[in-house]
């Protein structure tokens, strides 16, 4: 930011103006088209308030966050070590990369039947689907982070005579961290994105379930859009949260400063 | 604090917190549970009137005995419902009759033990459309729930009666919950599925009933109650109890209009999560829109489904009535009377 004080205001004010314009355009579009199926923003707000008052909103948000947290958490635990190892050992990369590229483009929706057969109609199924969707972006970003690492770090490490495990912990992991964090941000977005698909399985809670359930419930498209709005807002919150990671010294060095 | 420490602490606190919230709010893990010594199993159903006896039986049992007999598991679409049954997650399920027969042909050890309902399907067109008879549907796009739905076979039969063939119309597969909106937007010319989705288009003022099933295929069946053979051999008593319960609640529903209105209220509120206006409408206008009695599986009915299924290319004709129906439970249940239960008056 060039001038701290007004810059801060701008960072809040500008997005709010864009949001207000979009809301007005949405409202006007519904009025002009005279659609009585598509809800107006005020209907959606009423829908959200109705959900909040009945306690369903908190229930559904915690259910979706639960599934995303576990699926995404497992993906981080598996994806980062796997990506670092594959990035470091060229033979392993040669062996596993085609398989990863085969699995990566398969939509979680295609996995639903398999998830039901393996995990039944419990929370494990959506967790599995979210894990699948988010593990690949993390792995791939970790692989390329290691592969693109500056050779000078390695040479320095060799001069200090680091052992293999020290090399991994102290050099490779730290050097890759900024790029891995970027992968994690993308993966968290994807994990949250697939929550609707993952909750198509017979779970009876969650924001994705809210959308599917509202379609079943007759003319409740206000609740459909309410679910979409909540997913969007929480996605924004999650992204802001992950971005906090970029403020740590261990990561910040990796980003070009615009100050 | 270092990055690692912050992330680890935050992740642990977050996971613990969200897991606690989810398990207390949604899973009821901390609720006190009463467990009887009965067989615990899940029964799959969709929020359609074809499966109405599932929630009704569960609700009446819970109110009479404090237990629900089975755990009703509500799905949102046919494929997931079918997959959960194939995977053994549900021991019993309400399912489309032709789909059950097709699964049997493919070697799935299931038996149809009872019917879900009779009638309960309508063909609805847009009120502004010029469609008033079957010939008017020539060249039009019609939505049906599934390739294996009896609604699709219904069209084969209706076309034949009108001297037309399948080439005269275009059938599209569409999940029933999306049908009213598709008709409203005129994305399709006619929609056909189980209730309450047809009633919804009518109730909201843009749909007009072209015909009800009773006009084209009297005593139409779309859904049946199927159970795994394993459950029949291992727990025949539980199957009998289930069929008895479904039979008794069907008779209870058809006993009088008060019962239907009570069911519309408690099912909408506790199982379907929708406005009861819709169920009240489809269960009463007209009263024979959907029926829950005479639900013994009969051979001629299924032979007709088999024949139409073969004609429409979804069945091979390798499974027959004796292979996929086990009617001894239904026969025993036939003599039973309706549940002697009245819903407690509100407040």
Residue B134 makes CB contacts below 8 A (sequence gap 6+) with: B158, B159, B161, B162, B164
Contact between residue B222 and residue B214 where contact means Cβ atoms under 8 Å apart: no
Distance, in Å, from the CA atom of B199 to the CA atom of B280, rounded to the nearest integer, reads 10
**Contact assignment for B273 to A213 by CB distance below 8 Å:** yes
A73: contact with B, CB 8 A cutoff:
yes
**Contact assignment for B3 to A202 by CB distance below 8 Å:** no
Give the A:B interface size as CB pairs under 8 Å. 106
Mean pLDDT, residues B198-212 taken together: 88
Helix intervals (H) in A34-172: 41-53, 56-88, 90-103, 108-119, 124-147, 151-160, 164-166
The distance of B168 to chain A (nearest Cα, Å) reads: 31
Kindly state the percentage of chain B with pLDDT values over 70. 95
**Contact assignment for A204 to B181 by CB distance below 8 Å:** no
- Residues in chain A with CB shorter than 8 Å from the CB of B74 are 202, 204
Nearest to B209 by CA among B193, B186, B224: B193
Out of A63, A116, A216, closest to residue B83 by CB: A116
Q: Give the pLDDT confidence of B29-72 residue by residue, as tens digits.
A: 665 444 455 567 888 998 888 888 888 888 888 888 777 788 88
Q: Give the pLDDT confidence of B286-310 residue by residue, as tens digits.
A: 888 888 888 888 888 888 888 888 8
pTM: predicted TM-score of the whole model, two decimal places: 0.76
A66: contact with B, CB 8 A cutoff:
yes
CA distances from B209 to B131, B146, B215, B340 (A): 10, 20, 11, 35
Distance, in Å, from the CA atom of B96 to the CA atom of B222, rounded to the nearest integer, reads 6
Q: What is the pLDDT of residue A138?
A: 93
| B120 or B345: which leads in pLDDT | B120
Q: What is the pLDDT of residue A25?
A: 93
Mean pLDDT, residues B128-140 taken together: 87
Residue B25 has pLDDT above 90, yes or no: no
Residue to mutate among A52, A116, A169, with most B CBs inside 10 A, is: A116
Q: Which residues of chain A have pLDDT under 50?
A: 1-2, 258-259
In residues, how long is chain A? 259
Per mean pLDDT, which range of A218-222, B82-86, B108-112, B173-177 is the poorest? Answer: A218-222
pLDDT band at B347 (very low <50, low <70, confident <90, very high): very low
The distance of A180 to chain B (nearest Cα, Å) reads: 14
A52: contact with B, CB 8 A cutoff:
no
- Residues in chain B with CB shorter than 8 Å from the CB of A215 are 177-178
pLDDT band at B1 (very low <50, low <70, confident <90, very high): low
Name the residue of chain A whose CA is nearest to B80's CA. A201
Residue B254 has pLDDT above 50, yes or no: yes
| Average pLDDT in chain B | 85
ipTM over 0.90: no
Q: What is the pLDDT of residue B187?
A: 87
Residue B339 has pLDDT above 50, yes or no: yes
How far does Cα A189 stand from its chain's mean position?
Answer: 2
């Amino acid at each position: 930011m060039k001038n701290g004080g007004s810059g801060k205001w701008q960072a809040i004010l500008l997005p709010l103006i864009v949001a207000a314009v979009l809301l007005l355009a949405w409202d006007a579009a519904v009025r002009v088209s005279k659609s009585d199926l598509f809800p107006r923003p005020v209907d959606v707000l009423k829908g959200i308030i109705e959900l909040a008052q009945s306690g369903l909103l908190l229930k559904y948000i915690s259910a979706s966050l639960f599934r995303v947290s576990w699926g995404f958490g497992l993906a981080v635990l598996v994806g980062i070590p796997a990506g670092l190892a594959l990035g470091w050992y060229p033979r392993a990369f040669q062996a596993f990369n085609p398989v990863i590229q085969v699995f990566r483009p398969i939509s979680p929706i295609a996995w639903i039947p398999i998830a039901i057969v393996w995990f039944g109609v419990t929370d494990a199924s959506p967790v599995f689907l979210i894990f699948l969707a988010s593990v690949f972006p993390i792995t791939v970003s970790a692989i390329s982070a290691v592969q693109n690492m500056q050779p000078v770090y390695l040479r320095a490490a060799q001069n200090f005579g680091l052992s293999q495990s020290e090399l991994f912990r102290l050099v490779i992991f730290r050097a890759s961290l900024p790029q891995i964090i970027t992968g994690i941000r993308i993966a968290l977005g994807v994990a949250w994105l697939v929550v609707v698909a993952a909750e198509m399985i017979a779970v009876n809670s969650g924001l994705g379930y809210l959308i599917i359930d509202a379609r079943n419930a007759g003319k409740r498209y206000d609740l459909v859009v309410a679910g979409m709005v909540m997913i969007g807002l929480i996605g924004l919150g999650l992204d802001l949260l992950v971005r906090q990671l970029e403020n740590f010294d261990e990561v910040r060095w990796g980003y070009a400063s615009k100050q | 604090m270092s990055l690692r420490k912050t992330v680890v602490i935050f992740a642990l606190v977050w996971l613990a917190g969200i897991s606690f919230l989810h398990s207390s709010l949604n899973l009821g893990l901390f609720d006190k549970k009463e467990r009887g010594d009965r067989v615990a199993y899940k029964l799959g159903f969709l929020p359609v009137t074809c499966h109405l006896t599932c929630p009704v039986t569960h609700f009446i049992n819970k109110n009479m005995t404090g237990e629900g007999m089975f755990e009703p598991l509500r799905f949102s679409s046919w494929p997931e419902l079918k997959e959960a049954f194939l995977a053994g997650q549900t021991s019993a399920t309400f399912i489309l009759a032709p789909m059950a027969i097709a699964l049997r042909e493919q070697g799935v050890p299931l038996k149809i033990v009872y019917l879900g309902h009779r009638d309960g399907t309508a063909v609805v067109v847009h009120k502004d459309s010029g469609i008033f008879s079957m010939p008017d549907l020539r060249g039009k796009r019609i939505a049906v729930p599934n390739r294996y739905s009896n609604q699709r076979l219904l069209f084969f039969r209706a076309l034949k009666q009108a001297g037309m063939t399948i080439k005269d119309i275009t059938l599209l597969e569409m999940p029933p919950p999306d049908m009213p909106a598709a008709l409203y937007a005129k994305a399709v010319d006619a929609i056909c599925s189980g209730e309450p989705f047809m009633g919804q288009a009518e109730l909201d003022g843009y749909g007009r009933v072209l015909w009800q099933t009773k006009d084209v295929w009297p005593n139409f069946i779309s859904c049946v109650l199927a159970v795994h053979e394993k459950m029949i051999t291992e727990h025949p008593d539980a199957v009998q109890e289930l069929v008895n319960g479904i039979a008794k609640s069907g008779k209870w529903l058809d006993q009088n209009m008060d019962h239907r209105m009570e069911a519309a209220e408690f099912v909408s509120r506790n199982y379907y999560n929708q406005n009861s206006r819709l169920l009240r409408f489809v269960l009463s206008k007209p009263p024979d829109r959907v029926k829950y009695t005479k639900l013994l599986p009969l051979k001629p009915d299924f032979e007709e489904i088999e024949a139409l299924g073969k004609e429409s290319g979804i069945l091979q004709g390798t499974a027959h009535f004796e292979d996929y129906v086990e009617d001894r439970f239904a026969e025993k249940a036939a003599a039973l009377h309706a549940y002697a239960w009245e819903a407690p008056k509100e407040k």
